[in-house]
Amino acid sequence: MKRILSILLTIAACLPLFAQPRGMGSLRPTPDKWAEPTGPHKVVMEVFADFPDYTVYRPADLDSFKEKSLHAVVMMGPGCNPDGDSFRPFWTEVASYGYLVVAAGRPVPEGVMVPIFYLGTEDILKAMDWISAQAVDPGSPFYKILDADRLSLWGQSCGGIQCLRQVEDPRVDNLVFWNSGSLLMGNIDREGPHVFAEGGRDIFGTKDLKQLVLNAKVAIAYFAGDTGMERQAAQADFNDLTKVPVVHAVRAIPGDAHAGTFREKNGGAFAPAAVAWLEYRFGDAKKGKAAFSGKNSLANDPEWILVQSKNL
């Protein structure tokens, strides 16, 4: 019975992604949504021949970066159907502020939906390993400038759970749940692998999800839509975390709150929150912290209906 419940919860977590009659194509943003990011860097989107299942967004002017000054984000989403360009406005905006964004999944044609669980938690690890290799490869455009020792893992919906599986890796500096939380999939202790994908791959692993969060030694942020099904899971995690820096912010999002604002122009409201979080982790910590606490925080915008933080 627990196994069946787990499967149903997993499918439910991805239902918003199936709501459109033409699949992801009907949700794909148009070029005007990413053409003019607000950061100081022009952005290049590319897929590398030796890294075909991922889409990389990066600053065009790599020569301007000094040793280990380029920080990387690995993101799994949308949900369990990740592709490389559904969230292109968001990823482009983040990269324009001087970050390398590795989106799990390749760009797909209009009207095409990526198969559910095409990529899993082990593919997050592959992305992390690729970043580590690029940082020390003299033939890589990211040689020496990429900081592979402090990585950001981000996941939307069940993509957050897939990222959570790698939180114990010493390279991970912080974890961001976008419309996600450890209880999203039911937090069931599993006796065996949680297998859905073709070929029997282990999609979510066997460790207790909640315990992974409670044992985490990295900073964690939760960003959620006001009516999203995951909001309670995010709040519960925030309440239980006591030792690490943690943020929980809820945004009013008309329509499908679970889908967030990733597809809106320049990533909508989620992008500034993401950039502020990265600033807190890798830039001016005081400036980044101010976005989540104090008089100039996100809470000044009435559409951010809840902004909480601990241990910043």
Query: Per-residue pLDDT tens for 274-307?
Result: 999 999 999 999 999 999 998 889 999 999 999 9
Q: How many distinct helices (H) and strands (E) make up the chain?
A: 8, 9
What pTM was estimated for this model as a whole?
0.87
Whole-angstrom Cα distance, residue 277 to residue 214?
Answer: 20
pLDDT at 15 over 80: no
For the chain, give every domain's residue range. 2-310
pLDDT of 9 > 50? The answer is: no
Q: What is the per-residue pLDDT for 10?
A: 41
What is the predicted pLDDT for the residue at 108? 83
Cα separation of 84 and 2, whole Å?
33
Spell 97-135 as b/e; 16+ CB within 10 A means b.
bbbbbbbbbbebeeeebbebbbbbbebbebbbebbbebb
Assess whether pLDDT exceeds 90 at residue 121.
no
| List of residues 6+ apart from 164 with CB closer than 8 A | 155, 175, 177, 182, 209, 212, 213
138 token code pair: 């003299």
18 pLDDT band (50/70/90 cuts)? Answer: very low
Question: Quick one: pLDDT at residue 166?
Answer: 94
What is the fold of 2-310? Rossmann fold (3.40.50)
For 161-303, list the strands marked E by DSSP.
172-178, 219-225, 246-251
Over residues 263-272, the pLDDT tens digits come to 999 999 999 9
Length of the chain: 312
Does 171 or 1 have the greater pLDDT score?
171
